[in-house]
Structure 1
Amino acid sequence: MRQLRPVNLFFQVFPLLLVCIGMNTLSFGNPPEDTTADQPGLVKQEFVYTDASFPSCHASTIVETPKGLVCAFFGGTHEKNPDVEIWVCRNEGDGWTAPVSVADGVESASKRYPCWNPVLFQPKPGTLLLFYKVGPNPSAWWGMLKVSHDNGKTWGPAKRLPDGFVGPVKNKPYLLSDGTLLCPASTEHNGWQLQMEWTPDLGKTWHRTGPLNDGYKIAAIQPSVLKYGDKLQILCRSKQGKLVEAWSDDNGRSWGEVTMTTLPNPNSGTDAVTLKDGRALLVYNPTQKGRSPLHVAVSEDGKHWSTALVLEDQKGEYSYPAVIQTDDGKVHITYTWKRDLVKHVVLDPSQLKLKAID
């Protein structure tokens, strides 16, 4: 058999290398020079995965279990494509596992819908909840629920929520002292309207408020729940260029008027968590246009906020954060990195240096 001469081999192989490199850059990109390192409170930055069978991802969620961390997100060809599924990665202390598909929108051999916005929550050891949405678009999707009893390794059958209920639409539920799971929800079929849903028995029965806003004068979705003393606050994405809020003094059964905050919002998802020390920590895009930069802010009262840390400040999309505080006091944040990857950042909230937001 005739052997290729070295020069011929080079010209045959080199174009293939260029194609592979180009495909890798298209799918995942190369991280730019990190201008956000060495900030007080920043402990760790990493990608949850670097290789996957899907080119695009979005809407991550993270939870702590007795065995470690679990992260979920939706991934597929692109958002809204029928091949979009819910993927899960686990980290039990020795790095993240490769993404595994745990839910899809297949209804029959000829009908398949995309999946959307997973939300993980563990109300008690041994019961890990995975809420997600299935449907052609956000105005017509429906809520789904799966349960894992082994910290996210395997999952039970999918259960559809009752009509009119979507479950936590993007951000984690809030567990009330009586065991009720308060789920921050919203709908998009009659404008953008907020509603709060709750289940006293981990998804067996459901209750909800009516719409909290008209959906047009203030068009808002995707609340996060925060607690200050005996009051609850929701912070929500809006089409009005600012985050909006509402307050409750009866554990979320009723809410005051939805009003604008002073915090900018480019019509992009946020998340927030009440820290063990009583402060609120918010992850958001502090701009009215675009999805960069991505900042962390802290407040003691839900009204006055201080910038605590810059997660991203380069060009591109850095969006849809999820945030929790683990038992060791560390804060864990995941977010969409250019629609290519999910980034995971660990903070020490006691070391954050705050600068008041004017």
Structure 2
Amino acid sequence: MRTAQTFLSCVLAVSCIAGVPALAQRPAAVVTSEFVDPAPPYPQAHASTLVEFGDGTLAAAWFGGSGESRPDVRIWFARRGKAGWDRPVPVADGRSPDGKVYPTWNPVLFAPPGAPLQLFYKVGPSPRDWWGMVITSSDGGRHWSPPRRLPDGILGPIKNKPVVTPGGTWLSPSSREEGTPERNHWFLRMERSTDGGATWQAGAPIASPMGIEAIQPSVLTFPDGRLELVARTRQGALAMSWSRDDGRTWSPLAAIDLPNPNSGTDAVTLKDGRQLIVYNHSAHRPDTPGNGPRYPLNVGLSDDGIRWRNVLTLEARPMPDGYAYPAVIQTRDGLVHVTYTWNRTRIRHVVIDPRRLR
């Protein structure tokens, strides 16, 4: 049986043959590139999320503060209209009923048809001990409900947006990090709601017979009803899993032919049927401490969710903290919008014309 390390070797070989400097680049595909907030009132920003409203307005959220895992880290939110991005405002923090303040983490915006805007986020001292929270808005993020803690055992979407499946289910791409900082285990565990978010059910951990440890999945859809997860791993390559029953059960994890430096990604199914992913085209070797380099930042395409090709480099210049944790959506006008962490200090927004990607 092939192991995750074997898959990593294959992915690294493909990357070396392709040669990162020679990756296909089509600058004409980039329509806009800007910072959501050019001068934020805090030193660190991370983990952005994107959504489009019915009138074409965009909104983004992220966490910002003095540094990840610190109590002053809050969830920030901004809308973008025809005149550009509005001034961001904090919309959630980690204050608990007993007055203790915890850091907040990884907001996820979700605008399901016929329901209020949902903003999921996590609160707690670390990803091993956090819990899921949600606030809602019926006026496009101008006003928000009081925060509500999700049920025990439900964390909500960990980094990437939920989807509404062909059967009408809200499918929340979730994962777990269990153990201690020195010895912890990662696994995917999907959460489903069949009643518009009133109740949730957590599925069984997705099997990983090859020892691939994965978190932070994205959900892709196919015309025949199949669903695919694409997730970050510790093994140097991205991983996939498939469902044929509306997200109830999932196939064992397998590696795909794109490298991953132990960094978050996001993916979306385009209107033309292609699958698009934003990721770092660099690898992390499991026997090396820490993460691999979070640059360059790239866009990949696939016709079948299995074979992927790198079609665009968004960022290539080395930065101490790189370019990480992208979020991606396709808006009603057909354009693709990406936000991502820029050197841990700001959130960058890029608009791409997918017709120019091949």
Alignment of 1:30-179 (within 5 A): 39-67=27-55, 68-107=57-96, 111-124=100-113, 127-179=116-168
Native 8 Å contact 1:43 1:347 kept in 2: yes
Misfit runs of 4+, over 4 Å = none
Alignment of 1:225-244 (within 5 A): 225-229=219-223, 230-244=225-239
Alignment of 1:273-284 (within 5 A): 273-284=268-279
Distance 2:99 2:163 in 1: 38
Counterpart position of 1:299: 302
The number of equivalent residue pairs is 318
Q: C-alpha deviations, 1:287-335, integer Å up to 9, x for none? A: 1121000000111001111222110000111000000000000000000
Structure of greater Rg: 1
Distance 1:98 1:339 in 2: 19
- Cα 1:108–1:143 change in 2 (3 A) is closer
Q: Report the AA paired with residue 338 of structure 2.
A: I
Q: Cα RMSD over matched residues?
A: 1.7
What is the TM-score of this pair, normalised by structure 2? 0.86
Q: C-alpha deviations, 1:102-144, integer Å up to 9, x for none? A: 0000125751100000000100256111000000000000011
Q: C-alpha deviations, 1:161-192, integer Å up to 9, x for none? A: 11111111100001123431101000101510
Question: Which range moves more in the overlay, 256-265 or 200-209?
Answer: 200-209
Shift of 1:339: 0.5
Shift of 1:150: 0.5
Counterpart position of 1:247: 242
Native 8 Å contact 2:300 2:310 kept in 1: yes
Question: Which range moves more in the overlay, 69-78 or 190-199?
Answer: 190-199
Shift of 1:66: 2.4
Native 8 Å contact 2:256 2:307 kept in 1: no
Distance 1:307 1:177 in 2: 29
Distance 2:153 2:208 in 1: 17
Native 8 Å contact 1:335 1:344 kept in 2: yes
Distance 1:228 1:348 in 2: 21
Unaligned runs of 5+ in 2: 1-23, 180-184, 284-291
Native 8 Å contact 2:257 2:308 kept in 1: no
Higher RCO (CA < 8 A, seq sep 6+) = 2
Q: C-alpha deviations, 1:174-230, integer Å up to 9, x for none? A: 112343110100010151010110112232100121111359922110000011222
The structure 1 residue matched to 2:186, chosen from 162, 184, 192, is 192
Alignment of 1:20-35 (within 5 A): none
Shift of 1:82: 0.7
Distance 1:262 1:134 in 2: 34
Native 8 Å contact 2:61 2:75 kept in 1: yes
- Cα 1:215–1:239 change in 2 (3 A) is farther
- Cα 1:60–1:251 change in 2 (3 A) is same
Matched residue SS, 2:272: coil
Shift of 1:93: 1.5
Percent identical pairs in the alignment equals 50
Distance 2:99 2:203 in 1: 37
Native 8 Å contact 2:69 2:103 kept in 1: yes
Distance 2:156 2:210 in 1: 22
Counterpart position of 1:4: none
